[in-house]
Structure 1
Amino acid sequence: MSNVKDLIEELVEKYAGDGVAPIVSLGDQVLRQTAEPFDGQVDDAVLAEFVALMRRTMTKAPGVGVAAPQIGVPVQIAVLEDQFPVPPEIVEARHRYPLEFFAAINPVYRAASGKRRGFYEGCLSMPGYTGVVNRYFSVHATYLDPAGRKHRKTFDGWQARIVQHETDHLSGIVYVDKLETRSLCTSANYSANWADPVPTRAAKALRFKLD
């Protein structure tokens, strides 16, 4: 089995320039591993190239986050960014505000309160499907940036959802492990039937729990 250093260096070399890495699909073992902490397996220059590759891959997909296991590397690194335009009613209902790009190394989170909200979400490693996950509305996160600086930050609303989703990947957890099973549907069915700002109608019709 290749080690993290080799995997990162191989990807950086193969997809140098403006290349993007392929996204690993659900069922691949790497998505179920507990990723190892990043502790200098590669130097700063290679790390910067790897983070840039992750960002290009996320943007191309497109998505709002990519964790290293999703491109085949079991190491605790994730990139996050949400600049997608959304209608005002979605912004208000989901507290979905722009999230500036950042890379999180060895991130951890804990609930800032017991408040939870349920919304549909998806995953680049399981395209074509979406389901409701009842997640903490607000979380305290701690992580390192690529320069090794430690950050402590509180995230709310949709930003908190992204942080939880991507950090979970680093523990071998995929959103389907936490979703309300009866809410799971194809992306086409979601768009046609359940794309409300809040999934209250879907919860009633499909009979699933909504926090």
Structure 2
Amino acid sequence: MIAVSPPTPFTPAQLRERVQEILAAGALPPIVQAGHPVLRQHAAAVEGQISDTELKQLIVLMRNVMHEAPGVGLAAPQIGIPLQLAVLEDQFDVDPEAAAVRHRTPLDFVAILNPRYAPLGMDTAAFFEGCLSLSGLQAVVVRHERVLLHYETPEGLGREQAFEGWQARIVQHETDHVQGTLYVDRAELRSLSSNAEYAANWAEPGIGKARAALGFLHGHP
């Protein structure tokens, strides 16, 4: 069972001050690493704490940080801002076999505010997953194969959108971030591997070899 994260102690004024400080720095902020309290707090809903201009600037900054990392998603808490905001984009050139097994298709850039998701159906998928806030590690996570995402656009419009496959995994991962949940909270910890060990031993489209050798998810399809 996933622990319930405490709400961020930041006031609206403190949130705006933090955003303004990061925007004024003139450089890409570092990605916060596991152990920082902001990653274990339920972020504040975006409710006008910052101006529309500041929000747009923050989204551009987060997209740049995501690209620089590089990654396919980034949540505001990962740069020290406890707001329910994330950016998603997956345009990586992936091996066709891996893309087919993982149901991975390109995801156009999108910024999501105040996201929450619900599963569509009972199907799940298990794959290795990493996180920019747990540098150098990967682990297998069982996630819903299809989800319905409820979110708001930067313009304040409510949206519902269905995602499946790897796109659904990205959506779940980033939405978890704004609720103070990290992928290791959901992971099969016997699968936890350094990037080097993953590359040396388990880099295949699926998880069959790692599951057999490391002893996790017995009986999972």
Class of the TM-score when normalised by the shorter of the 2 chains: over 0.9
Question: Number of residue pairs matched?
Answer: 208
Which residue number in structure 1 is paired with residue 213 of structure 2? 205
TM-score (norm 2): 0.92
Which residue number in structure 2 is paired with residue 14 of structure 1? 25
CA distance in 2, matches of 1:68, 1:6: 14
- Secondary structure of the residue aligned to 2:81 is coil
CA distance in 1, matches of 2:83, 2:210: 36
Which residue number in structure 2 is paired with residue 196 of structure 1? 204
Q: Which amino acid aligns with 2:38?
A: V
CA distance in 1, matches of 2:54, 2:118: 30
CA distance in 2, matches of 1:206, 1:157: 25
The Cα offsets for residues 71-123 of structure 1, whole Å up to 9 and x where unpaired, read as 00111000000000001101110000000001000000000111100000100
The Cα offsets for residues 130-170 of structure 1, whole Å up to 9 and x where unpaired, read as 00000000000011111111111000000000000000001
Q: Which amino acid aligns with 2:97?
A: E
CA distance in 1, matches of 2:132, 2:177: 12
CA RMSD of aligned residues (A): 1.0
CA distance in 1, matches of 2:72, 2:148: 19
Fraction of identical pairs, as percent: 47
Which residue number in structure 2 is paired with residue 114 of structure 1? 122
Q: Which amino acid aligns with 1:61?
A: A
Which residue number in structure 1 is paired with residue 140 of structure 2? 132
TM-score (norm 1): 0.96
Q: Which amino acid aligns with 1:64?
A: V
- Secondary structure of the residue aligned to 1:169 is helix
CA distance in 2, matches of 1:111, 1:60: 31
Aligned counterparts, 1:10-89, within 5 A:
10-15=21-26, 19-89=27-97
- Secondary structure of the residue aligned to 1:119 is strand
Residue 95 in structure 1 maps to residue 106 in structure 2: no
Residue 171 in structure 1 maps to residue 213 in structure 2: no
- Please list every run of 5 or more consecutive structure 1 residues that lacks an aligned counterpart in the other structure: none
Which residue number in structure 1 is paired with residue 5 of structure 2? none
Q: Which amino acid aligns with 2:105?
A: Y
Hey, which bits of structure 1, 4+ residues long, moved more than 4 A?
none
